[in-house]
Chain A
Amino acid sequence: MSNDFEPNIIGFLCNWCSYAGADLAGTSRTHYLPNVKIIRVMCSGRVNPLFIVNALQQGADGVLISGCHPGDCHYLEGNYFARRRFVLMHKLLEHVGVDPRRVQMSWVSASEGAKFKDVVEKIVSDVKEAGPMDQFRRRQLNW
């Protein structure tokens, strides 16, 4: 893959922990890569795993889901549900042939601005290696 490929990554961050963590990274003037486009959701349990598929179809090269650490969920158990769903969807996508590095999940709390930066760096470098997502992106071929 050429090095100038800048991946487009969609990040679904939970309102209470990860979004606040990303905010902390910003307010503490930590520089993190701009490839992750953040969508704030109320809870990682809100993320229907089909959001991942839909994002990949619409042009994302990778998807990051991030929520509170297990046990810390604002809604007590949302991230436990998210964890089960994510693991299965991750396996399913892998079986279809999607590079497993494209889809990742992390636990980032509101105080972990530095961890958020690391998570973003990891997924960006992983997706850079995986290259552009061109398997089932909606193309305009037959238009």
Chain B
Amino acid sequence: MVDENVLRDKAKEILSSGEVRRLIGWKRGTYGYEAAPCVITDASQADDLIFDATCVQNPASFITLEEKLPVPRGQQPDTRKIAVMVKGCDSRAVVQHLVEKAYIRDDVVILGIPCRGVIDRRKAEKIFGEAPQPVLAVAEKDGVVIRVNGEEKKVSREEILADKCLRCRYPNPVISDYPLGDEVEKWADDDFSDVSEFEKESPEEKWAFWEEEFSKCIRCYACRNVCPMCYCVECIVTKLKPQWTRRSTDLSENTVYHIQRAWHLAGRCIECMECQRVCPMDIPIMTLNRKLTKDVKELFDYEPGVDAEAQPLLASYNPQDPEEYIM
């Protein structure tokens, strides 16, 4: 875990050195169980920065969310770096960006923060009810100390941590320029049992499940926008010529949208679970991504977002790839 003062001092140092144009981190929100991501440009704002178990958002998403307008004639574009604070899972997004050459290593300054897990708003609301005041939470080895509505309580990790944290394989950032705080011990592993369980169902059962889930979708595209790996300038779902999927919301178009979204993350998803967290209709979107993650691992022994020197999965091949399904 990291001392917030260390974090702020480092942020101040980086910002005042003038080498970065913006720093992405978290600050305290104005309500509820989640912190707010923030983008700061000046050392004077660094005192807002925090890190605790409410920092659920993935700051790596905001690296590619930066919008660059055409530079007026006679002016030079700002080519300074972007600094970004990352947890273990977030750091994998940065690695995957580098694999895909979304930007180069010299464009980013990475402040790596070891993390003991973040809380899940939905789980917390079931335990403590709504929180009109911003919540403070610290994940410890044996539980989470959480301060809701003025009262401090301790709950077990299983009860309140996000699902991704309960099977976290990378609690420490896999890439960083400035590692902040002491590394934490890995406490969990991922056996993909939820995916294997679902695989056993018949096609009819699977479809009955997805039919219900997909028909809830309102196509707000929050899952796409929040995804650190969804950074195309023009997205396939909004293209009109050709129109891959129609804008109308019905089971057919929603299904195709979700297949497209999951497909475009095949071998790229770094499992930050942001898509599922943001969904206002509680669609278990990650179930699709995790299926692909599992298959990619089993079939091609590939794990995205770990090695910055790796080749992107679908832009490479191995002549020995499995072909059991091919006649």
Contact = CB atoms under 8 A, between A and B. Distances in A.
Interface in A117-143: 119, 122, 135-139, 141-142
B326 interface: yes
Given A53-B259, A91-B291, A91-B295, A84 B321 contact: yes
Nearest to B295: A91
Nearest to A91: B295
Contacts of B319: 70-71, 80
A57 B296 CA distance: 26
Nearest to B206: A97
A105 B325 contact: yes
B296 A77 contact: no
Contact of B203 (A80, A83, A94, A105): A94
A11 B2 CA distance: 57
Interface stretch (B35-43, B81-89, B135-143, B262-270): B262-270
B251 A92 contact: no
B252 A139 contact: yes
Q: A-side binding surface: helix, strand, loop or mixed?
A: helix
Task: Report the contact-size class of chain B (Cβ under 8 Å from the partner).
Answer: 35 or more
Nearest to B249: A142
B236 to A, nearest CB: 8
Interface in B16-59: none
Nearest to A142: B250
Task: Report the contact-size class of chain A (Cβ under 8 Å from the partner).
Answer: 35 or more
Given A50-B244, A107-B327, A87 B210 contact: no
B321 A92 contact: no
Contacts of A81: 314-315, 317
B323 to A, nearest CB: 6
B209 interface: yes
Interface of A: 49-50, 53-54, 57, 70-71, 77, 80-81, 83-100, 104-107, 119, 122, 135-139, 141-142
Interface of B: 198-199, 203-211, 236, 244, 250-253, 255-256, 258-260, 262-263, 266-267, 287-288, 291-292, 295-296, 299-300, 313-315, 317-319, 321-323, 325-327
25 contacts: A49-B263, A50-B244, A50-B259, A54-B244, A80-B317, A80-B318, A81-B317, A83-B317, A83-B326, A84-B321, A87-B299, A87-B322, A88-B295, A89-B263, A92-B259, A92-B266, A92-B291, A92-B292, A95-B291, A96-B255, A96-B259, A97-B205, A135-B211, A139-B252, A142-B250
